[in-house]
Amino acid sequence: MYNNDGFRELDRQECLERLSSADVGRVVFTRDALPAVLPVNFWLDQDGAVLLRTSAASEMVRAVDRAVVAFEADQVDAATHAGWSVVVTGVASVTADTAERDRLTAMGPRSWVPWPDEVFVRIVPEIITGRELLAGRTVYGVRLSP
Protein backbone atom coordinates (compact mmCIF):
# COMPACT_ATOMS: atom_id res chain seq x y z
CA MET A 1 0.00 0.00 0.00
CA TYR A 2 1.11 3.51 -0.70
CA ASN A 3 1.28 6.00 2.15
CA ASN A 4 -0.49 8.67 0.12
CA ASP A 5 -3.25 6.66 -1.56
CA GLY A 6 -6.06 8.07 0.61
CA PHE A 7 -6.59 4.94 2.68
CA ARG A 8 -5.65 4.21 6.29
CA GLU A 9 -3.63 1.05 6.79
CA LEU A 10 -5.12 -1.34 9.37
CA ASP A 11 -2.89 -3.16 11.83
CA ARG A 12 -3.17 -6.93 12.36
CA GLN A 13 -5.63 -6.67 15.26
CA GLU A 14 -7.87 -4.26 13.35
CA CYS A 15 -7.79 -6.62 10.37
CA LEU A 16 -8.88 -9.56 12.53
CA GLU A 17 -11.66 -7.47 14.08
CA ARG A 18 -12.96 -6.51 10.64
CA LEU A 19 -12.81 -10.12 9.44
CA SER A 20 -14.76 -11.32 12.47
CA SER A 21 -17.62 -9.01 11.48
CA ALA A 22 -17.83 -10.19 7.86
CA ASP A 23 -20.07 -12.99 6.63
CA VAL A 24 -18.72 -13.58 3.14
CA GLY A 25 -15.28 -13.37 1.59
CA ARG A 26 -13.44 -14.55 -1.49
CA VAL A 27 -10.79 -17.23 -1.68
CA VAL A 28 -8.19 -16.68 -4.41
CA PHE A 29 -6.29 -19.70 -5.68
CA THR A 30 -4.72 -21.16 -8.80
CA ARG A 31 -6.81 -23.42 -11.03
CA ASP A 32 -5.25 -24.87 -14.17
CA ALA A 33 -2.37 -22.36 -13.86
CA LEU A 34 -4.80 -19.42 -13.86
CA PRO A 35 -6.14 -17.28 -11.00
CA ALA A 36 -9.55 -18.28 -9.68
CA VAL A 37 -11.78 -16.46 -7.19
CA LEU A 38 -14.74 -17.96 -5.36
CA PRO A 39 -17.10 -16.28 -2.90
CA VAL A 40 -17.40 -18.28 0.32
CA ASN A 41 -18.86 -17.98 3.76
CA PHE A 42 -16.23 -18.45 6.46
CA TRP A 43 -15.43 -18.46 10.13
CA LEU A 44 -12.45 -16.86 11.85
CA ASP A 45 -10.84 -19.23 14.35
CA GLN A 46 -9.39 -18.05 17.66
CA ASP A 47 -5.84 -18.18 16.25
CA GLY A 48 -6.77 -15.93 13.31
CA ALA A 49 -7.02 -18.76 10.78
CA VAL A 50 -9.75 -18.50 8.16
CA LEU A 51 -11.92 -21.62 8.04
CA LEU A 52 -14.09 -22.77 5.16
CA ARG A 53 -16.47 -25.73 5.11
CA THR A 54 -17.26 -27.30 1.78
CA SER A 55 -17.73 -30.53 -0.16
CA ALA A 56 -14.80 -32.93 -0.04
CA ALA A 57 -15.30 -33.41 -3.78
CA SER A 58 -15.11 -29.72 -4.67
CA GLU A 59 -12.63 -28.56 -7.27
CA MET A 60 -11.52 -25.81 -4.88
CA VAL A 61 -10.49 -28.30 -2.18
CA ARG A 62 -8.28 -30.19 -4.62
CA ALA A 63 -6.70 -26.94 -5.83
CA VAL A 64 -6.00 -25.32 -2.44
CA ASP A 65 -4.83 -28.19 -0.23
CA ARG A 66 -1.21 -27.37 0.78
CA ALA A 67 -1.11 -24.37 -1.57
CA VAL A 68 -0.57 -20.67 -0.94
CA VAL A 69 -3.87 -18.82 -1.32
CA ALA A 70 -5.29 -15.40 -0.60
CA PHE A 71 -8.55 -14.68 1.16
CA GLU A 72 -10.26 -11.29 0.99
CA ALA A 73 -13.26 -9.87 2.79
CA ASP A 74 -14.58 -6.35 2.75
CA GLN A 75 -17.44 -4.08 3.61
CA VAL A 76 -18.28 -1.09 1.45
CA ASP A 77 -20.87 1.66 1.69
CA ALA A 78 -20.99 3.19 -1.78
CA ALA A 79 -23.30 6.01 -0.67
CA THR A 80 -20.88 7.36 1.95
CA HIS A 81 -17.65 6.29 0.22
CA ALA A 82 -16.60 4.38 3.33
CA GLY A 83 -15.38 0.86 3.82
CA TRP A 84 -12.58 -1.54 4.50
CA SER A 85 -10.82 -4.48 2.89
CA VAL A 86 -8.66 -7.18 4.49
CA VAL A 87 -6.48 -9.72 2.67
CA VAL A 88 -5.09 -12.84 4.34
CA THR A 89 -2.31 -14.70 2.52
CA GLY A 90 -1.17 -18.11 3.70
CA VAL A 91 -1.09 -21.85 3.16
CA ALA A 92 -4.43 -23.64 2.97
CA SER A 93 -4.86 -27.21 4.13
CA VAL A 94 -7.70 -29.66 4.57
CA THR A 95 -8.10 -30.51 8.25
CA ALA A 96 -7.29 -34.19 8.74
CA ASP A 97 -7.09 -34.36 12.55
CA THR A 98 -10.22 -36.08 13.91
CA ALA A 99 -10.36 -34.06 17.14
CA GLU A 100 -9.99 -30.81 15.23
CA ARG A 101 -12.72 -31.85 12.77
CA ASP A 102 -15.02 -32.68 15.69
CA ARG A 103 -14.35 -29.26 17.27
CA LEU A 104 -15.02 -27.46 14.00
CA THR A 105 -18.16 -29.50 13.34
CA ALA A 106 -19.50 -28.42 16.73
CA MET A 107 -18.60 -24.74 16.56
CA GLY A 108 -17.04 -23.88 13.21
CA PRO A 109 -18.44 -22.54 9.97
CA ARG A 110 -21.69 -23.87 8.57
CA SER A 111 -21.86 -24.51 4.86
CA TRP A 112 -24.61 -22.56 3.12
CA VAL A 113 -25.01 -25.55 0.80
CA PRO A 114 -24.61 -28.66 3.00
CA TRP A 115 -22.98 -31.70 1.44
CA PRO A 116 -22.99 -35.32 2.64
CA ASP A 117 -19.18 -35.42 2.78
CA GLU A 118 -17.83 -32.08 4.02
CA VAL A 119 -14.31 -31.00 4.89
CA PHE A 120 -12.78 -27.98 6.60
CA VAL A 121 -10.15 -25.91 4.88
CA ARG A 122 -7.87 -23.88 7.15
CA ILE A 123 -5.96 -20.88 5.82
CA VAL A 124 -3.16 -20.05 8.23
CA PRO A 125 -2.39 -16.33 7.95
CA GLU A 126 1.22 -15.61 7.11
CA ILE A 127 0.47 -12.08 5.90
CA ILE A 128 -2.55 -9.98 6.87
CA THR A 129 -3.06 -6.57 5.33
CA GLY A 130 -5.99 -4.23 5.43
CA ARG A 131 -7.04 -0.73 4.60
CA GLU A 132 -9.93 1.55 5.38
CA LEU A 133 -11.54 4.57 3.78
CA LEU A 134 -13.63 6.72 6.10
CA ALA A 135 -16.47 8.56 4.38
CA GLY A 136 -14.45 9.71 1.40
CA ARG A 137 -11.67 11.36 3.41
CA THR A 138 -7.98 10.77 2.78
CA VAL A 139 -5.43 10.22 5.53
CA TYR A 140 -4.78 13.97 5.21
CA GLY A 141 -8.39 14.85 6.03
CA VAL A 142 -9.05 16.09 2.50
CA ARG A 143 -12.51 15.31 1.21
CA LEU A 144 -12.45 13.29 -2.00
CA SER A 145 -14.59 14.77 -4.78
CA PRO A 146 -17.77 12.85 -5.67
Q: Note the pLDDT tens digit of each residue in 4-34.
A: 566 889 999 999 999 999 999 999 999 999 9
| pLDDT above 50 for 1 | no
Q: What is the pTM of this model?
A: 0.85
100 pLDDT higher than 70: yes
- Tell me the three state secondary structure of residue 49: coil
Residue 139 has pLDDT above 70, yes or no: no
One DSSP character per residue, 90-130 reads: EEEEE---HHHHHHHHHHS---SS--SSEEEEEEEEEEEEE
pLDDT at 81: 82
Write down the mean pLDDT value for the chain.
88
Q: Which of 83, 88, 103 is nearest to 29 (CA)?
A: 88
Asked if residues 80 and 135 have their Cβ atoms less than 8 Å apart, the reply is yes
- Using only the alpha carbons of the chain, give its radius of gyration: 17
